[in-house]
Amino acid sequence: MKQLKAIIFDVDGTLSETERDGHRVAFNRAFSEAGLDWVWDQELYGKLLAVTGGKERIRLFLSDFHQDFSYDGDIEQLITQLHAEKTKHYVSLLETKAIGLRPGVERLITEIRDAGLRLAIATTTTPANVTALITSTLGEQALSWFDCIAAGDVVPAKKPAPDIFDYCLEQLGLNPEQCLVFEDSANGVLASRGAKLPTVVTLNNYTENDDFSGAISVFNHLGEADMPCQLISGVAIEHDYVTVADLYRLHVNG
């Protein structure tokens, strides 16, 4: 019988709604500061989310949405610089506590720790962004709750490639069937399933039309006692919000 040992969380869109009001805003600030007239509105940003990774997203913007842009210098250097500035803006934004955790995230993380299960993170975003989000929402001590924070360019191929999850499993010293993943996007599920990891989805506005056929269950969020979650598809849970007991039950179905 497969025994659940660790819960692996994605970050953007799963722990927190960081994309629209966090990353997008930070990209726009970096563009404006660099004297560029690029503005990523909410709709365009939704299209750019087709790729994961901020540098990759700028490349997609230039190749598919702004072919007219010409630049005399080294374009890769410009992208690297813009992305570094974007990261600074994003971290500053989080330091103002502008973005909180999604419903049920803090509660479930506490329950997971109390149950003696291990915690990990597997994300495409830059490590500094993860540190800033965890610190600003759960406090600096919370960084030590995660046995592995696998993030960003530590692997060459970002989600939907399975590499970041493979890396995370290696760091944890666990097999895929000993873990359960929370993701919010089709690219995330392709990556986790590519690593053979059982996966549950909490979707959001940007991902509600994604294909989650590889997931055990899809919920709108994790829910709280006073904020019931909704099952969109897959295996149901016992109560109105996802508990550790549900994690064991969902895991058996993975």
19 binds ligand XBP (CB under 6 A): yes
The nearest distance, CB 58 to ligand XBP, in angstroms, is 9
Cβ(137)–Cβ(16) below 8 Å: yes
The nearest distance, CB 245 to ligand XBP, in angstroms, is 27
Reading phi first (left if > 0) and then psi (alpha if -120 to 50, else beta), residue 245 is in alpha
23 binds ligand XBP (CB under 6 A): yes
**Binding at 19: pick from ligand XBP, Mg ion, none (beta carbon under 5-8 Å per type):** ligand XBP
16 binds ligand XBP (CB under 6 A): no
Which range in 50-58, 71-79, 222-230, 231-239 contacts ligand XBP by CB under 6 A?
50-58
Which range in 4-12, 99-107, 194-202, 216-224 contacts ligand XBP by CB under 6 A?
4-12
The nearest distance, CB 72 to ligand XBP, in angstroms, is 25
Q: Give residue for tokens 């989600």.
A: 159
Q: Kindly give the interhelix angle for 244-252 and 105-114, rounded to the nearest 10 degrees.
A: 80
**Residue window 107-146: x/- pattern of binding to ligand XBP, with contact defined by CB under 6 A:** ----------------xxxx--x-----------------
CA-to-CA distance for 182 and 163, rounded, in angstroms? 16
The nearest distance, CB 66 to ligand XBP, in angstroms, is 18
Q: Residue 122 or residue 242: which is nearer to Mg ion going by CB?
A: 122
The C-alpha R_g of the chain, in whole angstroms, comes to 18
CA-to-CA distance for 88 and 152, rounded, in angstroms? 15
Which range in 30-38, 51-59, 96-104, 136-144 contacts ligand XBP by CB under 6 A?
51-59
The nearest distance, CB 27 to ligand XBP, in angstroms, is 8
Among 4, 6, 7, 10, binds ligand XBP (CB under 6 A): 10
Sheet holding 6-9, edge to edge: 146-151, 118-123, 6-9, 179-183, 199-202, 217-219, 231-234
Cβ(223)–Cβ(240) below 8 Å: yes
65 sits in which H/E element: none
The set of catalytic residues is: 10, 12
Among 184, 198, 201, 216, binds Mg ion (CB under 5 A): 184
Residue 95, number of CB atoms within 10 A of its CB = 11
Among 16, 38, 53, 169, binds ligand XBP (CB under 6 A): 53
Helix intervals (H) in 6-149: 18, 24-33, 42-48, 54-60, 75-95, 105-114, 127-138
* Residue ranges that bind ligand XBP, judged by CB under 6 A: 10-13, 19, 23, 52-54, 123-126, 129, 159, 188
